[in-house]
């Protein structure tokens, strides 16, 4: 109507030979919806005489002018998903810049994208994430995408960087059949229930390090969940039945606390440059091996060797003094129950043989 050209529409052919809109879908939708009489003109700075008019209300010459307008389009010949992703990012310059997941949501439409949206609304997932407004910029969907990609392809296939790994997964499975979608629902639900059982609402987090001279606490749980921890821990639970996870919940929890306190390399690699292949491999391999070791113990061995979380809480509430250094233990997660008479020389796993220590003191003791 103002003779101002509509910006170029970018298209690409999919595997079925049909065109997909890479950039410009909102512009096309707005034009077609107006032609179909789905809304009237509002908030006009120019041509105010047409305010409130549907397309059918416009003068015939204006209708003809709109219908005869040329929409310029450009076809992207390269079918590589990463190329489409890069092009969309470079074109995305107006308003609020889209993050990676928002870009993927525009490019990789299909049953997999719908599945990711559905799983992001899983009640157990929401409880473990325990973060307000987590879905505002599709952070929740980004977490779900990581889970599905590493579940389906495993970390061993993530050799060219995390961004390409996720894009390739979305491209390959974007039109996943219902059988695959059902599989994803089942494994995700099982994993989230397991994570909630073991970690509650502190899942997928580190503890802030506040250890100072004379202080022995390594802090409160981080407020925000960590995506690198999520992809490692959540996928690790898929291998086991929920009953197995529940039986070993205390041991898994203690094993995780020991890992984040004793393995500085692991902590560094889930904090920085988390998409780099060798760093990512270390985080997966280290936790998977630790979990496998915990799960491989028979229930009778586990009962004989590991004090319960309930007993630790009772002893902590009665007297939170470290048996090794004599200082007060501030947080229960900074504490560990160990055998007063060593297990390997015949000490029994009974309340009378339990001593409460700072986790860090116990590590130093060896």
Query: Rounded to an integer, what distance in angstroms lies between the CA atom of residue 9 and that of residue 65?
Result: 20
* pLDDT at residue 298, as a whole number: 63
CA dist 263 → 130, 268, 286 (Å): 26, 9, 10
Give, in order, the Cα–Cα distances in Å from 204 to each of 115, 207, 209, 250: 22, 10, 16, 16
d(Cα 256, Cα 199) in Å, to the nearest integer? 10
pLDDT at 211: 45
How do the domains of the chain map onto residue ranges? 1-79, 307-366
User: What pLDDT, on the 0 to 100 scale, is given for residue 125?
Assistant: 97
Residue 96: predicted pLDDT: 59
Q: Decide: 20 and 14 in contact? Cβ < 8 Å.
A: yes
| Tens of each residue's pLDDT in the chain, 366 residues | 777 878 888 787 766 677 777 777 788 889 899 999 999 998 888 888 888 899 999 999 989 888 888 888 877 665 566 666 676 666 665 555 778 898 888 788 899 999 999 999 999 999 999 999 999 899 999 999 999 999 999 999 999 899 999 999 999 999 999 999 999 999 999 999 999 999 999 999 998 764 444 444 456 788 899 999 999 999 999 999 999 999 899 889 989 999 998 899 999 999 999 989 999 999 999 999 999 999 987 655 545 677 888 899 899 999 999 998 888 888 888 888 888 887 766 788 888 888 998 887 877 765
Helices (H), 97-161: 100-107, 111-119, 123-129, 139-153
Pair 117, 141: CB distance under 8 Å? yes
Cβ neighbours for 163, distance < 8 A, ≥ 6 positions apart: 82, 85, 100, 275
Q: What is the pLDDT of residue 303?
A: 52
- Quote the Cα angle for 277-279-284, to 5°: 90
Q: What's the pLDDT score for residue 209?
A: 61
Q: Which residues does residue 12 pair with via DSSP β-bridges, in sequence order?
A: 20, 76
Six-digit token string for 24: 């410009």
Distance from C-alpha of 298 to C-alpha of 37, rounded to nearest angstrom: 68
Cβ count near 248 (within 10 Å): 22
pLDDT of residue 21: 76
The two three-digit tokens of residue 150, written as one number: 């590493």
Question: For residue 172, with 0-12 CB atoms within 10 Å meaning exposed, 13-18 middle and 19 or more buried, which class applies?
Answer: middle
CA distance linking residue 283 with residue 273, whole number of Å: 12
Q: What is the pLDDT of residue 88?
A: 65
pLDDT of residue 270: 94
Q: Are 235 and 227 in contact (CB under 8 A)?
A: no
């Amino acid at each position: 109507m103002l003779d101002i050209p509509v910006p170029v529409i970018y298209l690409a052919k999919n595997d079925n030979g049909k065109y997909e809109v890479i950039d410009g879908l909102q512009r096309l939708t707005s034009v077609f919806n107006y032609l179909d009489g789905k809304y009237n003109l509002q908030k006009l700075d120019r041509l105010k005489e047409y305010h409130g008019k549907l397309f059918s209300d416009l003068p015939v010459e204006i209708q003809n002018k709109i219908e005869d307008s040329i929409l310029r389009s450009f076809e992207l010949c390269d079918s590589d998903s990463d190329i489409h992703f890069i092009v969309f990012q470079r074109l995305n310059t107006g308003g609020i810049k889209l993050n990676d997941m928002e870009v993927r949501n525009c490019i990789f439409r299909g049953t997999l994208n719908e599945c990711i949206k559905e799983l992001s609304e899983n009640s157990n997932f929401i409880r473990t994430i325990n973060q307000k407004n987590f879905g505002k910029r599709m952070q929740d969907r980004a977490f779900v995408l990581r889970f599905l990609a590493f579940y389906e392809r495993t970390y061993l296939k993530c050799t060219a960087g995390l961004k390409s790994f996720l894009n390739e997964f979305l491209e390959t499975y974007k039109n996943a059949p219902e059988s695959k979608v059902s599989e994803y629902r089942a494994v995700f639900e099982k994993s989230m229930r397991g994570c909630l059982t073991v970690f509650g609402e502190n899942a997928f987090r580190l503890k802030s390090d506040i250890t100072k001279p004379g202080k022995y606490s390594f802090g409160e749980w981080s407020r925000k969940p960590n995506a690198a921890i999520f992809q490692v821990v959540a996928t690790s639970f898929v291998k086991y039945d929920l009953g197995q996870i529940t039986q070993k919940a205390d041991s898994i929890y203690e094993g995780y606390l020991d890992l984040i306190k004793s393995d500085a390399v692991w902590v560094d690699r889930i904090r920085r440059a988390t998409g780099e292949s060798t760093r990512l491999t270390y985080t997966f391999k280290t936790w998977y091996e630790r979990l496998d070791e915990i799960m491989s113990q028979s229930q009778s061995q586990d009962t004989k060797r590991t004090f319960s979380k309930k007993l630790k809480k009772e002893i902590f509430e009665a007297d939170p003094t470290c048996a090794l250094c004599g200082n007060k233990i501030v947080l229960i997660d900074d504490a560990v129950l160990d055998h007063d008479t060593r297990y390997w020389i015949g000490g029994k796993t009974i309340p009378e043989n339990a001593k409460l220590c700072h986790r860090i003191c116990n590590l130093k003791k060896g």
